[in-house]
Structures are given as structure tokens and as C-alpha cells.
Structure 1
Amino acid sequence: MTTYVLVPGFWLDGSAWDAVAADLRSRGHAVTAVELGHAPGDTAESHVDDVLAALVPAGEPVVLVGHSGGGPVCAAAAERARDRVAHLVFVDTGPLPDGTAQIDFNPPEVQERIRGAIEEHGTGQPMPSREELTAIGSSTDGIPDAVFDDVRARSLVEPAGAVLTGVRRGEPDPTLPKTVVACSFAPDQVRPLIDEGVPGFAEMGGPEWSFVALPTGHWPMFSEPEKLAAVLGALS
């Protein structure tokens, strides 16, 4: 049995992982879905604390899985609790350099849209519409309309501090296996970015990194939950 700790991306709570978690549990694994804080004062750093709280030092080290905006948070958590993590998994995401905010990983026109949404709301960024997500490069391919509508209806406002601030990075451990589940991009698109030293990709060039293709949109827990669970299960 392997223990999986699943961390959602922006706007999602732990229930985003329900289908994946149920599949993994049916395979005999233990699963914890982390609830990240969504109070107005929460930040990327407080989200790291949320993940660390889930890494209770009991039993065997876990497979730590971060989706989208949860990926950089998991990278920092794994560096601070290395003894608690056996495998680090990035679902359609990756680590970011020290202090780099999620918004910084977007082109200027997308940053402008995001800042405008935060300013209009006041304390954070509400989940965009399907059309808006497509416009900012977050593919919703494969998600049935009814499922997307339900997800958005239950979505949480992402605190401004989680969008606009980064996390403190430690020293990545080259002995920790790291896997990228590539959904809205292909693994062979990553190598040139690694070679060019593009932030968010540069550190993926080490031998501890592997890539698994799961072609779908950016939200595989909704579009391909069984296939995602199978990929994660194969890492145990």
C-alpha cells in the first residue's frame, strides 16, 4: 500500500480529487486530499504550511501530488519535509524558482487579465469562465459541460496572496524521484525549454525527473480521472 497526498490547484478544494482518490483506494492505497486555505489573507507560503500539516510523520513516506498552482507549493513542501516524501508528482505543472509567483509565469496580457479580476473582486481571483480559461491558456478539453459547470459553481476564490506571491525554495534533492504528468503539453515540448533554462522548466533536466504523457486538458482529475489514477498508481 502507498499513501498519496493530493494537492489541488487554484479555485479547487479537496473534493476535486474525489474520483481519482476513489480509484486509488480501490487499488488498496491510502489517500489524503489536502484542503488549502482560501481566506483573504492566505498566501502561497500559507499553502505550503497546509501541505506540511498533511505530511504528518507517521508510517512510510508519501507520494506527494500537486496539480497546477499546487505544484510549486508541493515543491517547497517536499524540500522542507524531505523525509516524509518518497516521490514528488507534478500534474500539468512544475516547480517555480524561489519567490516566483504563479502570475509571473504568464505573459503580460494574461497577467493584466488576472490583476484586473483580482482588483474587481477585491480580495482574490474568482474562477474564470470556460471561455476565459481558454483565453489565458488553461485548457478545459475533455471536461463535459455539466461537470465544468458544477466545478465552477463550487469553486473558491483564490486569495490574492496565493496568486501574486511565491514560495521560499530550499535545495532540491536530486535523490527524490520527480514525475511530471504532462496533459496540456507534450513531454517532447519540455526539452527545449530545459535546455534554454526557462524558469519553471530549467530544474527538470536532472536524472531524477521523468515525464508521463496523459493527453487531455489542464484538469485531468475531471477529464480523465481513471487514467490519471492509473498513472499515479503505477508510481507506487
Structure 2
Amino acid sequence: MTVFILVAGAFTGAHVWRETAARLTAEGRDVHAVALTGLDASRPAAPSVRVDLETHIEDVLAAIDAVDPGREIVLVGHDYGIHPALGAADRRARRVARLVYLDSAMPRDGVPALAAVPDQTLRGELAERIRRDGHDGELAPPERDAWARWGSTAGVSGAALDRLTALAAPQPLGTLCTPLRLSGAVADVPVTGVLCTGNGASVELVQRLVDFGDPALAALTAPGTGFFELPTGHWPMLSRPADLADVLLRAAAGEGHRLRPAGTDATPAHLRPFPLDVPVPAREREGHVDLYVPDTEGPLPAVIVVHGGPVPAGARPTPREWPTLVGYACLAAAEGVVGATLDHRLHDVADYGRAAEDVAAAVELVRADPRVDADRIALWFLSGGGLLAADWLAEPPAWLRCLAASYPILAPLPNWGLADSRFHPARAVADADAGELPFVLLRAGLESPEIAATVEAFVTAAEDCGARLELIDLPQGHHGFETLDPPEETRPALLRGMRSVIGHLKG
């Protein structure tokens, strides 16, 4: 018989599992929700004890060791709870039949839980506090309206949120700054990932990351690894307890979506052909920028194509060589202007600052080329690169004649920790200066709900402030429609979008 050992996240205790545990028990399973020292009211810390990650690993080890050796253990870690769960599973790899990552990060050896704090502003503040005051002390739990800094509260009722807040406990700083130490034994434990789509995660997104070929993600395609999605926010044990129990039962049975290993598909989506057959001028490489210059007397306007992400640092070829980006640049060249692609360092959601620096440097490099009219520039953003449009909307220079975007993310996703950052186009578009800048938006009708919500927020803000927004809809278009959808459906939108952008450049 399966025994479920449940480890809760930051500020919370065994109480959060009440409804899910009851469902599992009703199905005949034994359930043990771990009371973490200093976080759970039933296990207070002694005044002289310094609570850190090792303390919580020991709590989980005690729960594992209390199970009869002949029984199968499914160990579930939510949020911060995956760190002590993973540490314990590494030391009891033969006892744990399956490790479930419940809407959590993928901790690595030597990295503290602080690195997984989703709100980047808060993470920086905590890092500074730890540098200044050391590892002792506590982090106060969130107020009722501040839980969203730790994950989406979508689906959590008002009563459940009240209870979560009332029972929350301060998080000992030592649990966040103690590095996780792994021997590697846990690599043999089968894994299930449960992704909460309302918090910005999805199986499709993880598959895209795997397709980039990052070796660090290869383990996600192992035969024993499965994935499930739950259409809710970061606390499914509060918002969808019955559905979570069902998913955990299926995980224990070895079910779940299997990811396709990189290279097993004949051609991954990001390397499939561009749908328009356009001439490809000779590529000219300068630094992190590739130029495609038409055989036309200049100086000429330029369209600079900005890729999305995050893209693993080891992805090859790099984005500026992907058929879609090259296709946009060559389409621009075919229409009589300079096309440019670039690589930027958006390898993680924490990298938007340096990615913005790379884009700004690329723009200046393109503008400095004598064949380019430095006063007539357009920027075209794709996917996660859409957040980088915020800077240009907030303070558009006179030489920037147009912005464009295809299936962009236009507000930070809930689990990206960027809600208070400057990378928020849906806010930036409401700025008075941004209202004068044309924005051509190619909108995918079959976009994921989480990304579609950011686009709608942007469109609403743009319409409210009278921004010069042109919408080009692809009702049957998916995210990445250039290489996923039938060419006959995407070609008209691509041509219309590019010609509109060039019209703004030449007008």
C-alpha cells in the first residue's frame, strides 16, 4: 500500500494538506503531512535551536523512517518543501518510490532555496539582509494581499486565503540560505512534475525548453518521469484539493505525460522552416548581431527582430540563426529594408535586465551601420521577448518609428517574480509618450490562457489610452504559429504585419 508523505512550502504547515489528505485517505492510502520544525504549530523550535534546511531535511527523514520498510513511499514537495523533500530523498533513495515536484523549482546541489524565491525584488532584499545580518532571524509571513508575491492565488477562495494567512508562520532565514547538498543518489528515484498552469507553468513550455537541447533538462525525459497539469494557481491543495489528490494517485501509479527527448523529433518546432519563401541575402555578422541587407541603395530603414525566451545558454544553434528569426529579417530585406537578428542573454527569468542591455547594444550597432538610416528603426519582439518592449514604450526615442510583436508575453507571468519590475508592457503602454508610437500586434487565437491574459491586459490598456495599436488576428494561430500552423494561414498575417511596419518606417 502506498504511503504519501506531504511536505508544505514556505510559511505553511501540515494544515494546508487537510482536504487533499482526506481525499487520499478515503481512497485507502495512508498520508503523513510533515510538521516542519519552527513552521508548524505542532513542532515549535526550541529557543536555543537554529532552524535551517538541514533541520527540515531531518524532519522529512524521520517521516520516511517511520514507514514500514515494506511499503511504498510517494514523497511530495510543494514550493519550498521540495528542498527538504529532495534532500531527504537523496539520503533515502531506496525507500522513496517516487518524488513529486508540486509546482516547485528544480533545486540543484549547492544552491540555497533563496534562489527559488519567485519575486526578484524580494529575493534581492533577502539576499542583502542575509549579507548584512547573517543567517539568523525570520522572514515574516505575507499579509493576506501579499501571497501573490510567492505564487498565483488563482482559485483560492477568500475563506481559504484567510485561513492560510491566519495559520502562516515566520520562515526561518536559515532554511532559505543553507545550500542544498545532494550526493546524486536521488537521480535514481522516479519523478513526477505537477505544473499549475495558473502560475505560468505548462507541459508545453517544459517541452520547448527540452527541445532546445539543454543537457541539464535531459533528465526530464527519463522513462520514469511524468508530468501533469492542474488549471489553477500555486496552491492547488487549497484551490483544487480533489483534483490534486487524483493527480497524486495517478502519479503513484506511474502515469503522466512523457516528454520527448531533444533530437527525437525529426525537426523541433523552433528549427522548422519559415512559412514564406523569401530570398536570403548574404548574412553579415557583427558581434551578437546578424544583418541581412538588400541590394538597394541606402541608407535604409531597419527592422530588428528580438527573440523570446528564456533560452538555455547552451542552445545550438543560437536564436539569431533560427529559421523564424532569419525569416522575419529576410522578409524585411525582401520588402526593401535592412533586417537584423540578434542573440541576447535571456537564459532565465532573472536575466531580463542584461537581455535589455544586449538589445539596446544591438540597436546601436545596427544604427551605426552606414547602410542603415539611423532615424528609421523598428523593433519586432517574439514570445517572451515581449517584456523587453516595455523600455521602448516607456521612453521611445525619436528614431524609433514602430514596435511590433508576434504572440508576445506582455505582462510578467505569475511565477516569474517580475510583477513590480519595469518589464511590464501592459503598464508601460499607458504612458503618454507611448501613445504616439505605432504598435503592430500579431495575436494568436489559440494562445495559452495565461499568455493570452497578458495580451488582453495590454490591448485594454492601449485602447484606454488611445495608443496607436494595430491588431492582426490569427484565430487558429498557436504560440509560435510560423512553424506550427499551416503556411496558408500564417502567410497573410506575416505579410500584412511586415508591410504595416515598413509603412510606418517609410511614412
Q: Choose from 84, 87, 100 the match for 1:73.
A: 84
Partner of 1:126: 140
Q: Choose from 126, 138, 147 the match for 2:160.
A: 147
- Superposition pairs of residues 99-178 of structure 1, within 5 angstroms: 99-105=110-116, 106=118, 108-115=120-127, 123-134=137-148, 136=149, 138-178=151-191
For residue 107 of structure 1, report the CA deviation from its aligned partner. Answer: 6.3
Quick check: 138-147 or 52-61, which moved more? 52-61
Alpha carbons 2:91, 2:185 under 8 Å: kept: no
One-letter code aligned to 1:231: V
Q: How far apart, CA to CA, are the structure 2 residues paired with 1:13 and 1:43? A: 16
Q: How far apart, CA to CA, are the structure 1 residues paired with 2:31 and 2:160? A: 23
For residue 77 of structure 1, report the CA deviation from its aligned partner. Answer: 1.1
Sort the Cα spacing of 1:172 and 1:193 in 2 relative to 1 into closer, same or farther, 3 A. Answer: farther
One-letter code aligned to 1:18: R
For residue 103 of structure 1, report the CA deviation from its aligned partner. Answer: 1.5
Q: Choose from 51, 54, 59 the match for 2:60.
A: 51
Query: Are residues 1:216 and 2:228 paired?
Result: no
Deviation readout 1:9-52 (Å, 9 max, x if unpaired): 11111111111111000000111110111247211121111100
For residue 175 of structure 1, report the CA deviation from its aligned partner. Answer: 4.1
Q: How far apart, CA to CA, are the structure 2 residues paired with 1:31 and 1:91? A: 16
Taking structure 1 as the reference length, the TM-score comes to 0.88
Query: Are residues 1:31 and 2:31 paired?
Result: yes
Sort the Cα spacing of 1:129 and 1:107 in 2 relative to 1 into closer, same or farther, 3 A. Answer: closer
For residue 220 of structure 1, report the CA deviation from its aligned partner. Answer: 0.6
Q: How far apart, CA to CA, are the structure 2 residues paired with 1:101 and 1:196? A: 26
Partner of 2:415: none
Partner of 2:95: 84
For residue 169 of structure 1, report the CA deviation from its aligned partner. Answer: 1.0
Sort the Cα spacing of 1:13 and 1:108 in 2 relative to 1 into closer, same or farther, 3 A. Answer: closer
Q: How far apart, CA to CA, are the structure 1 residues paired with 2:179 and 2:187? A: 22
Sort the Cα spacing of 1:20 and 1:160 in 2 relative to 1 into closer, same or farther, 3 A. Answer: same
Where does structure 1 lack aligned partners over 5 or more consecutive residues?
none
Q: How far apart, CA to CA, are the structure 2 residues paired with 1:42 and 1:193? A: 36
Query: Are residues 1:64 and 2:78 paired?
Result: no
Alpha carbons 1:101, 1:167 under 8 Å: kept: yes
Q: How many residues align?
A: 232
For residue 115 of structure 1, report the CA deviation from its aligned partner. Answer: 5.0
Identity %: 33
Q: How far apart, CA to CA, are the structure 2 residues paired with 1:109 and 1:49? A: 31
Alpha carbons 1:130, 1:140 under 8 Å: kept: no
Sort the Cα spacing of 1:47 and 1:203 in 2 relative to 1 into closer, same or farther, 3 A. Answer: farther
Q: How far apart, CA to CA, are the structure 2 residues paired with 1:49 and 1:175? A: 21
For residue 156 of structure 1, report the CA deviation from its aligned partner. Answer: 1.0
Where does structure 2 lack aligned partners over 5 or more consecutive residues?
39-44, 254-507
For residue 70 of structure 1, report the CA deviation from its aligned partner. Answer: 0.7
For residue 166 of structure 1, report the CA deviation from its aligned partner. Answer: 2.5
Deviation readout 1:70-101 (Å, 9 max, x if unpaired): 11221221111012111111110143111211
For residue 53 of structure 1, report the CA deviation from its aligned partner. Answer: 0.6
Q: How far apart, CA to CA, are the structure 2 residues paired with 1:82 and 1:67? A: 19
Structure of greater Rg: 2
One-letter code aligned to 1:219: W
Q: How far apart, CA to CA, are the structure 1 residues paired with 2:235 and 2:88? A: 22
Q: How far apart, CA to CA, are the structure 1 residues paired with 2:57 and 2:186? A: 17
Q: SS of 1:54's equivalent?
A: helix
Q: How far apart, CA to CA, are the structure 2 residues paired with 1:130 and 1:190? A: 31
For residue 193 of structure 1, report the CA deviation from its aligned partner. Answer: 3.8
Partner of 1:41: 50
Sort the Cα spacing of 1:153 and 1:96 in 2 relative to 1 into closer, same or farther, 3 A. Answer: same
One-letter code aligned to 1:127: P
Alpha carbons 2:93, 2:188 under 8 Å: kept: no
Q: Choose from 180, 184, 207 the match for 2:193.
A: 180
Root mean square deviation of aligned Cα = 2.4
For residue 151 of structure 1, report the CA deviation from its aligned partner. Answer: 1.2
The one of the two structures with greater contact order (alpha-carbon pairs below 8 A, sep at least 6) is 1
Taking structure 2 as the reference length, the TM-score comes to 0.43
Q: How far apart, CA to CA, are the structure 2 residues paired with 1:125 and 1:191? A: 35
Q: How far apart, CA to CA, are the structure 2 residues paired with 1:46 and 1:161? A: 9
